[in-house]
Structure 1
Amino acid sequence: MNLRNQKQCPIKPEPGTQASFAQQEKRAGLLVTNELEKALAGCKAQVERIAKDCKAKNRRFRDAEFDLENDRQRCLFGLSKENREYRPSDVQRVTKIFSNPSFFVDGANSNDIVQGKLGDCWFLSALATMTTAKGLLEKFCVARDEQVGIYGFLFFRDTAWVPVIIDDLLFTSIPKYEELTTPEKELYHRDKNFYNTSARKGGKSLYFARSGTEDETWLPLIEKAYAKLHGDYTAIDGGFSCEAIEDLTGGVSTFIPIKDILDPDVFWREELLLATKDRLFGCGFDTLDSNRSGIKNLTVNGLIGGHAYSVLRALEYKGKRFIVLRNPWGDSEWHGAWSDGAREWTEEWLPALKELEHSFGNDGQFVMEYSDFLDNWDLVEKTLLFDDTWVMSSQWLQVTARPPSAAWSYGDISFTITIPAPTQAVIVLSKLDERYFADISGNSCWMLEFVLFKKGSRAIVAESTPTRFYLRSVNLEAQLEAGEYVVHVRLDRVVNDQLPEYNPGNTDPRKFSRVQTERAKSQSIASNFKPSAVLHNLPIPLDVLAGQDLTELETKAVEAEKQIKATEVALQAEPSVRVPEWTTKEKEETQKGAITVAEGKTTKSGQRGAQPKSDDASSDDDSDYEDSDVGGGDDVEVDLDNLPTSIADEDLGLRSAAGSPVPASVQNERSQSSPSESDYRLESWATRPELGSGYSNDTVVLGLRVYTHKDAPALVGGQLRHEMKASLAALASSALQR
């Protein structure tokens, strides 16, 4: 089906407002954020530099950070040494596996995707879905030099583009000739050359995913890059396809239960018909319970539960509504009406196959009528794509929630949003992508909700609608006027005691150090992140060290530490003292000299705009002030924990005596350092030394991302609950009395 220019806005705007997601065909799928071009250029330059160096040394590229051959266990598995079920037989380069390897053969399409022994159907389904938006998949396959075996990819994680560089070594399932048993050797007439040129050649010898097109290599290589992004192959076993699409495009995903669709005609017209234009879809249903029937591997007319399928396209033909879908396994298709070779395909309807771009065959692709689609699937996953007419603003905070026994209530976290002009907005509340460090992220499974108010008004503008529990993010879409808005967050969770307790004595210390490092880097996105708490886990970027010896760097670090401590002491003694107005040059030189780098990018007010300045934060050893009350004043003993609060436009941000905002790092310190707040403090390194400072079942890093049109970039701020317990308790009490 040819893509057509999107003329109408799929989300109906209010009268007098602008259309929202209308995109030109050539722009559809371009990824939002100003950092994209910088990341693309950086990744290409890195690939070119390494390739040039390899050619000068007459060597193929070998990735020391993800070496499948020499570091097999770390690349395959997470921290636990239990349940290590993947056992590839060998590792070979692409040039040895394929006779005539080519990254793409006639471009990328859904028939290229065949799942291997890894449970990543969700990721492969996302790739199949993305192949339907022409040229989209190629955008994040940034650079490659197939001669030396180096490939560069870009993925979107949390709020930034992450380059991933890999070599062309891949796991295979076919052992070396010498490892065969005598009967196995007999099958190949004891001919080693015959065995190597037949059994050990071709995509079918790969252990994980392979392309359905022989000699095509993009699929196993991007799967490897995605595994490296998250630490190992095991880390990408299980997930939601729409979250993978988010990682690949920077889009925003929504889960839509079929039974919640109010008007199927509207859903068809304003959602599914727009597939591949500015949104992508997947679908599925939960695994079927076979206990009653006793039948194993139950299916619904060939459809498999607990499995991700791709929606490739939707089309109306002669009054009937058809949807083309695909199983990433490359087989096991729908057996109902309009399936391949079904009786519905009479001579009258066969011309529809051309319009649907479908042909019969056991290739995993099949056709369903819309009514059957609604009857057989439980859940639709939608991902909105953004072009470069959009911008993104964000703010992240490390939050210590109240104990699970406390009231289920708003009032712990708020965000403020400033919108300079009327715009369509997509507001997303999310936690960090914890897939890399899931083993040390605690046993709490979080559910997120939020409501949006106009500042000064008690009327709810919009609210998120959680449609599935314990997702990575929730969002809402709304047409916003210019002005200030307040978002209030409510957290819910279940503490899963069935999750295995991480045992530091049962893993590889090298692997553990890398997992800790990735967690520290991810948490550093928070405005109230404290580098000193995880100083030994933060790597030192080469651009900080470049051109300077350690003596020069240590001198700068000492000066930076003095200035930071002086600011902290001043703030402790007198909250109204403002942070010194550093110039950009002074800030960059001083903070980079401190060696330790926190990746959060924040202004002095704790707000983040659409184009934040990238400043490195220095080490702030605050151990001298850990148990002090920065703000002073009496501690009012009022138990707010079990009182529901009713708050609409109140801003929970800490204000100094002069009315100016105090930096978020001080807000967090104030909120967690008072002895009366000990229930909410993070567990210390001394409490759980094997897990590192900042670990707690009560701790989560939350971010608010706001997507708006380019001419209306938002400014986002964040606030945490602190010693305002008395005033909030009064608000709650007053609301209950009303």
Structure 2
Amino acid sequence: MPLFNLFKGKPTVEKTTTSFLQERDHAGLLVTAELERALADCKAKVEHIVKECKAKNRKFRDHEFDLQNDRFRCLHGLASEERYNPSDVLRVTQIFDNPQFFVDGASSNDIVQGKIGDCWFVSALATTCPSPGLVEKFCVARDEKVGVYGFIFFRDNRWVDVVIDDLLYTSIPKFEELSCQEKQLYHNDKAFYNRSSRRGSATLYFARSSTDGETWVPLVEKAYAKLHGSYGALSRGWACEAVEDLTGGVACFIPTNDILDPDLFWTEELLKANHDRLFGVAFNCLDSSRSGEVAITVSGLMGGHAYSVLRAVECKGKRFVVIRNPLSHSGWTGPWSDGSKQWTPEWLEILPQLGHSFGDDGQFVMEYTDFLECWQEIDKTILFDSQWVMFSQWLHVTARSLLSAWTYGDVSFTITLPAATKAVIVLSQLNNRYFKPISGFLHWTFDFAVFKKGEKDIIAQSSASRVLARSINVELDLEAGSYVVHVRLDRFVYPPPAYLREGIHISNYRSLSRVLTERAKSQSIAMNFNTSSQAQNLPIPLDVLAGQDLSELERKALAAKVEVEKKVAEEKKVVEGEAGRKTENTTGREVVKNIAGQENEKMTEKTCEDKDEGRGRNQTDVDKTDAVSDDDDDETVNIQDMMSETDTIFLGLRVYTSKDAPAEICGQLRHEIELSAALACPNC
């Protein structure tokens, strides 16, 4: 039996269920408990690397994200729209005389955006700084001498750790690369050139700290780039999504002209900034067709740019909001801007209370009325403490075809609560930033409605959302009982980008392989994920192979195969014996682990009938990539066959509740279009 058959899905018996109950061992996970496990894992990895490097007398080099030896992939990934051209790669200790991860703690004033359009991420970093100890939580472990740093980020439904080395891209070339005229500017003195131009924060190509020698900003950005495959993957985004990734919180979008009571919003929302919520602000780019200006600003503020809300303060009967621009310049020039006429001697006294000082550091002050007038949208991220639990379920959902009614009925979730609780219900698609180039040319959007089970009245609907938002949510108070969440799906079709039409060059196959793997790993969190169709893209866990040679694994695999076939045969008898009987119980899920450690899922029927198991499963034929072989004369591969399906989406429901009210989620998929049509039009 070939070794790699160990990692393919086991044969399954025909099922009739379309309901999926959350796994029991994943139910009611404490957010903080899960965080502690992730922290412990990350620290253990860093400690192991430190021990190994010291034994070898070597600094750590991250072969998974090697800026020096894997330059193109680390900069651009599979299909970056921009091209970046740093001059060199240096270690932190080569850039700074006395590098320190933090200098007097993490401060929003430390952060300066670099040569990539990731203001959304840099702004998110600044947004997290005022909350005490928050940055230190995701900056987990480090050994600055060895050059290893460990971080954690929240992705989809769990915390993940990212370990990096201390190599960073720089913008200043080597002395030998200068022209004769440029060398003369430094009196042909290489040492003088290196001291004056190739050291310090200003030499960094991407994000940096304004405090020379402080390293946490570029290293967090590098870890976030590794999480998503490349620096190029960080171009463009929503700041609130980065805040979610950094904190494990839940973000929502608030148009300022939707605020019903500004006074209530001030007292119940903004004044709680950095306590249990974080805020960011932005407005859309302005139309320059009439003015002819290249970039129109609103009193110095730029459209299409993310700004951080640092704090809200009430002083002497006035309401002020302190904000920061991640570019560290181009601040507010309106009322209460630095040096404006409003700052009389009387009002200068409140600067310490505001935590503000004059200077071109990107931080500025606005009065609340100007704040509401200027900004078009506010991002709020809710933070969770140990009083909350989070549980989730993900499904691979098949939607109706593009030319179908915009309607509910493709997927629903049932939530059961044992006690009354405050709740946050979040519906999300996968974070596809890593594998966005092969995610198709559709952009999904969705909304949902919440019902008490058995009742007709809607008790809540998802809050307003951006058209292309990754997730939507609603905050509500719920009594004990069962609730049904009905989802409505929609999508936008965009012309395929050039790389889809022209194909991927053979030199970039490595990047494509990693992107396919990351997509398969992300999709595997779905309850109805089809493991066998993605077997070639799922990596073999090293702990599966550890301590065993391949022959030994083969023998164990044969024994496991016999056991699996025996269980499948027994299950088939049970299913055949129950055929024709209608049941209305809860769907359970049994996970059988084979010797490879892979979870091959088989759903035990305890629920309603379903005659189409395939609905909601991933039916992408990834094996088509086998057509690309080493002897293929064509130097490019058409990746359109590898794209995500146009009619399917991976959706997850995350529910946050009080730890005293852990809940269960059961997901259901549409399976008979005729039945759906009859329900929609009973009199037709």
Per the TM superposition, whether the score is higher than 0.5 is yes
The code of the aligned residue for 1:544 comes to: V
Alignment of 1:220-619 (within 5 A): 220-502=218-500, 503-505=503-505, 508-564=508-564, 575=575, 591-595=593-597, 597=598, 617-618=599-600
Q: Distance in 1 between matches of 2:508 and 2:167?
A: 23
Deviation for aligned residue 1:685: 3.7
Shift in alpha-carbon separation, 1:104–1:672, aligned structure 2, 3 A: closer
Counterpart in the other structure of 1:714: 663
Deviation for aligned residue 1:699: 1.9
Contact 1:283–1:379 under 8 Å retained in 2? yes
Contact 2:556–2:595 under 8 Å retained in 1? yes
Note the alpha carbon deviations across 1:213-251, whole angstroms, 9 max, x for none. Answer: 010000000000000000000001111111001000100
Counterpart in the other structure of 1:68: 67
Contact 1:453–1:461 under 8 Å retained in 2? yes
Counterpart in the other structure of 1:733: 681
Q: Distance in 2 between matches of 1:534 and 1:351?
A: 64
Contact 1:120–1:238 under 8 Å retained in 2? yes
The code of the aligned residue for 1:727 comes to: L
For structure 1, which runs of at least 5 residues remain unmatched after alignment? Answer: 1-30, 579-586, 598-616, 621-653, 674-680
Note the alpha carbon deviations across 1:684-732, whole angstroms, 9 max, x for none. Answer: 3467764677831222100000000101111111111113x34332221
Counterpart in the other structure of 2:58: 59
Contact 2:398–2:615 under 8 Å retained in 1? no
Q: Distance in 1 between matches of 2:298 and 2:612?
A: 51
Note the alpha carbon deviations across 1:266-290, whole angstroms, 9 max, x for none. Answer: 1111100100000000000011121
Q: Distance in 2 between matches of 1:408 and 1:504?
A: 35
Q: Distance in 2 between matches of 1:501 and 1:492?
A: 25
Contact 1:682–1:695 under 8 Å retained in 2? no
The code of the aligned residue for 1:339 comes to: S
Note the alpha carbon deviations across 1:418-457, whole angstroms, 9 max, x for none. Answer: 1111100000000000000000011111111111111111
Contact 1:570–1:577 under 8 Å retained in 2? no
SS at match of 2:244: helix
Counterpart in the other structure of 1:684: 621
Contact 1:235–1:435 under 8 Å retained in 2? yes
SS at match of 1:349: helix
Deviation for aligned residue 1:408: 0.6
The code of the aligned residue for 1:44 comes to: K
Alignment of 1:19-38 (within 5 A): 32-38=31-37
Counterpart in the other structure of 1:705: 654
Counterpart in the other structure of 2:644: 695
Deviation for aligned residue 1:660: 3.6
SS at match of 2:397: strand
Deviation for aligned residue 1:571: 6.1
Note the alpha carbon deviations across 1:1-52, whole angstroms, 9 max, x for none. Answer: xxxxxxxxxxxxxxxxxxxxxxxxxxxxxx9253211111111011011101
Shift in alpha-carbon separation, 1:692–1:71, aligned structure 2, 3 A: same
Shift in alpha-carbon separation, 1:687–1:47, aligned structure 2, 3 A: closer
Q: Distance in 2 between matches of 1:162 and 1:496?
A: 32
Shift in alpha-carbon separation, 1:76–1:141, aligned structure 2, 3 A: same
Q: Distance in 2 between matches of 1:714 and 1:42?
A: 27
Contact 2:616–2:669 under 8 Å retained in 1? no
Shift in alpha-carbon separation, 1:619–1:702, aligned structure 2, 3 A: closer
The code of the aligned residue for 2:239 comes to: S
Deviation for aligned residue 1:549: 2.1
Counterpart in the other structure of 1:39: 38
Shift in alpha-carbon separation, 1:577–1:712, aligned structure 2, 3 A: farther
Shift in alpha-carbon separation, 1:102–1:685, aligned structure 2, 3 A: closer
Counterpart in the other structure of 2:615: 671
SS at match of 1:669: coil
SS at match of 1:508: helix
Please give the TM-score of this superposition, normalised by the length of structure 2: 0.88
Please give the TM-score of this superposition, normalised by the length of structure 1: 0.82
Contact 1:560–1:591 under 8 Å retained in 2? no
Q: Distance in 2 between matches of 1:660 and 1:347?
A: 73
Deviation for aligned residue 1:565: 5.1
Shift in alpha-carbon separation, 1:668–1:156, aligned structure 2, 3 A: farther
The code of the aligned residue for 1:222 comes to: V
SS at match of 2:40: helix
Q: Distance in 1 between matches of 2:67 and 2:250?
A: 33
Contact 1:561–1:619 under 8 Å retained in 2? no
Q: Distance in 1 between matches of 2:205 and 2:116?
A: 8
For structure 2, which runs of at least 5 residues remain unmatched after alignment? Answer: 1-29, 579-589, 628-638
Q: Which moved more, 1:682-691 or 1:54-63?
A: 682-691
Shift in alpha-carbon separation, 1:142–1:577, aligned structure 2, 3 A: farther
Counterpart in the other structure of 1:635: none
Q: Distance in 2 between matches of 1:200 and 1:554?
A: 55
Deviation for aligned residue 1:561: 4.0
Bigger RCO of structures 1 and 2 (CA < 8 A, at least 6 apart): 2
Shift in alpha-carbon separation, 1:577–1:59, aligned structure 2, 3 A: farther
Contact 2:440–2:643 under 8 Å retained in 1? no
Shift in alpha-carbon separation, 1:102–1:400, aligned structure 2, 3 A: same
Q: 1:219 aligns with which of 205, 212, 217?
A: 217
The code of the aligned residue for 1:593 comes to: I
Deviation for aligned residue 1:592: 4.5
Alignment of 1:87-236 (within 5 A): 87-236=85-234
Note the alpha carbon deviations across 1:317-345, whole angstroms, 9 max, x for none. Answer: 11110000000011110000000000000
Q: Percent identity?
A: 59
Q: Distance in 2 between matches of 1:422 and 1:98?
A: 55
SS at match of 1:618: strand
The code of the aligned residue for 2:541 comes to: P
Deviation for aligned residue 1:141: 0.4
The code of the aligned residue for 2:201 comes to: G
Q: Distance in 1 between matches of 2:572 and 2:498?
A: 42
State the number of aligned residues.
632
Q: Distance in 1 between matches of 2:240 and 2:616?
A: 36
Q: Say what the alpha-carbon RMSD is for the aligned residues.
A: 2.4
Shift in alpha-carbon separation, 1:507–1:237, aligned structure 2, 3 A: farther
Contact 2:39–2:140 under 8 Å retained in 1? yes
The code of the aligned residue for 2:534 comes to: V
Shift in alpha-carbon separation, 1:686–1:128, aligned structure 2, 3 A: closer
Deviation for aligned residue 1:480: 0.6
Contact 1:571–1:577 under 8 Å retained in 2? no
Deviation for aligned residue 1:368: 0.2
Q: Distance in 1 between matches of 2:188 and 2:415?
A: 72
Counterpart in the other structure of 1:5: none
Q: Distance in 2 between matches of 1:655 and 1:536?
A: 27
Contact 2:426–2:472 under 8 Å retained in 1? yes
